[in-house]
């Protein structure tokens, strides 16, 4: 949800320690090797560095602190279908970090545009792992001008799903409706994307999956499934009603506040952020943007209603198995997080914040009306945000089936 930072210079330089204690502390570097396990066809690979407190999706919502690219020609044959190449990240502030990587086989990745800064179907992803026995990120600590060597990033996970490109179908929603006994919902629908930033940088996502042959599927089913014969790499909204313990029942949401409210662990994760102009503020030596954000919950209203009637949530879709949906109902929350200088309820990587619940009329008056961006995070870590650059930059359509204007339509909250 946060913007990718501009490219930092990746250049080695000599360093002479300062003589006075008040001088700026030296920056750090991480050097190592990318090992690609995807066979003989390798491509440009992007190594991304994240603050360990704000890892990338699906673990977190972090954006890269910095990144570097490794050319396909730099990879050597390591035997047994493995190929390797060195990488170098420099000018890193003191801190704890995690590393990710994407091998861009179709050539449509670019880290400075949100619609291009994500792995697409057919790409390979990887990370620096804590060990080969786990999929957890390994944390790297750097401080005091330290150079960390021999860091290995293993790229060995092919992506077999497409990014969750979507459009918002719901019209304006009153803020007061978020506190109603029957909570407000919004409808999202998968779309194909065919556009171009330039002749050499095009983006083709899809085709869009076809809905199942059920009368009025998109209008009547909370999660309208894709047809069984949907081609691979079609755009879809992948729904996963998680059942990690295999007991046949939906798992509670992994965070305690949501779990205690009766919410369940359902993907895709869905986030809202106010898109209007806000101030910045200083916090612990950093200039931070004021932000209003909220989480929304796929199928939450329908799941709770089904349970209240004595029904089984599996009526909404298979439990424990991800399935592609053409369109999806997402329940809006009455709670917002407001990051600002005077926040009193907590602090995280985005700064101090307050929780604002619109059941309190005075609090509801604080929530800004207008355009709100919507971000989907798939269980694969692939993301999509609307509005985005496609509409903002007036990019063309390369296929009559794709209307770029859909990518400029936000969720609108009104008084």
Is 145 or 5 the better-scoring residue by pLDDT? Answer: 145
Q: 130: closest CA among 149, 148, 153, 150? A: 153
Model confidence pLDDT, tens digit, residues 123-177: 999 999 998 887 789 999 999 999 999 999 999 999 999 999 999 999 999 999 9
Band the pLDDT of 22: cuts 50, 70, 90.
Answer: very low
User: What is the overall mean pLDDT for the chain?
Assistant: 91
Q: How far apart are alpha carbons 110 and 48 in whole angstroms? A: 12
Report the half-sphere exposure of 234 (CA within 13 A, side-chain side). 21
User: Do 298 and 264 contact (CB within 8 A), yes or no?
Assistant: no
Model confidence pLDDT, tens digit, residues 58-95: 988 888 999 999 999 999 976 667 899 999 999 999 99
Whether 388 has a pLDDT exceeding 80, the answer reads yes
**24 burial via Cβ count (<10 Å: 0-12, 13-18, 19+):** exposed
Whether 198 has a pLDDT exceeding 60, the answer reads yes
pLDDT for 280: 97
- Which residues fall within 8 angstroms of residue 203, CB to CB, at 6 or more apart? 108, 115, 116, 193, 194, 195, 196, 197
User: Do 316 and 214 contact (CB within 8 A), yes or no?
Assistant: no
Domain(s) of CATH 2.60.40: residues in the chain = 28-158
Is 351 or 7 the better-scoring residue by pLDDT? Answer: 351
Picking from 10-14, 80-84, 147-151, 240-244, which range would have the lowest pLDDT averaged per residue?
Answer: 10-14
Query: CATH classification of 28-158 is 2.60.40, yes or no?
Result: yes
Is 134 or 235 the better-scoring residue by pLDDT? Answer: 235
Model confidence pLDDT, tens digit, residues 334-386: 999 999 999 999 999 899 999 999 999 999 999 999 999 999 999 999 999 99
Whether 15 has a pLDDT exceeding 60, the answer reads no
Whether 3 has a pLDDT exceeding 60, the answer reads no
pLDDT for 50: 95
Largest separation between any pair of C-alpha atoms in the chain: 76
| pTM assigned to the model | 0.90
pLDDT for 132: 81
Q: How far apart are alpha carbons 356 and 346 in whole angstroms? A: 12
Q: How far apart are alpha carbons 281 and 404 in whole angstroms? A: 35
């Amino acid at each position: 949800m946060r913007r990718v930072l501009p490219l930092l210079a990746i250049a080695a330089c000599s360093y002479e320690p300062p003589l006075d204690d008040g001088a700026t502390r030296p920056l750090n570097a991480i050097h190592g090797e990318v090992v690609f396990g995807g066979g003989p066809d390798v491509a440009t690979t992007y190594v991304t560095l994240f603050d360990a407190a704000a890892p990338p999706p699906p673990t977190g919502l972090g954006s890269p602190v910095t990144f570097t690219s490794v050319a396909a020609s730099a990879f050597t044959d390591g035997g047994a279908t493995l190929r390797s190449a060195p990488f170098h990240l420099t000018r890193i502030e003191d801190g704890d970090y995690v590393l990710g990587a994407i091998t861009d086989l179709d050539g449509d990745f670019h880290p400075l545009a949100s619609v291009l800064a994500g792995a697409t179907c057919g790409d390979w992803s990887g990370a620096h792992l804590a060990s080969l026995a786990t999929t957890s990120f390994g944390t790297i600590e750097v401080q005091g001008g330290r150079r960390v060597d021999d860091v290995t990033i293993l790229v060995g996970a092919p992506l077999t799903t497409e990014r969750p490109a979507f459009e918002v179908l719901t019209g304006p929603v009153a803020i007061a409706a978020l506190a109603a006994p029957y909570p407000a919902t919004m409808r999202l629908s998968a779309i194909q994307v065919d556009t171009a930033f330039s002749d050499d940088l095009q983006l083709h996502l899809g085709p869009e999956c076809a809905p199942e042959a059920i009368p009025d599927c998109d209008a009547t089913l909370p999660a309208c499934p894709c047809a069984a014969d949907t081609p691979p790499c079609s755009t879809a909204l992948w729904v996963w009603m998680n059942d990690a313990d295999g007991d046949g029942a939906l798992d509670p949401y992994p965070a305690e506040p949501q779990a205690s409210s009766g919410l369940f662990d359902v993907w895709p994760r869905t986030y809202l952020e106010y898109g209007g102009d806000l101030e910045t503020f200083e916090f612990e030596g950093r200039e931070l943007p004021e932000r209003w954000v909220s989480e929304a919950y796929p199928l939450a209203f329908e799941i709770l209603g089904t349970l209240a009637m004595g029904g089984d949530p599996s009526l909404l879709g298979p439990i424990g198995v991800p399935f592609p949906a053409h369109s999806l109902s997402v329940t809006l929350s009455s709670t917002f997080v407001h990051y600002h200088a005077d926040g009193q309820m907590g602090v995280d990587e985005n700064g101090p914040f307050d929780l604002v619940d619109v059941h309190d009329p005075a609090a509801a008056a604080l929530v800004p009306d207008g355009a709100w961006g919507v971000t989907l995070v798939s269980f694969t870590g692939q993301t999509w945000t609307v509005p985005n650059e496609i509409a903002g930059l007036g990019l063309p359509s390369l296929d009559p089936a794709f209307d770029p204007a859909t990518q400029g339509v936000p969720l609108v909250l009104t008084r």
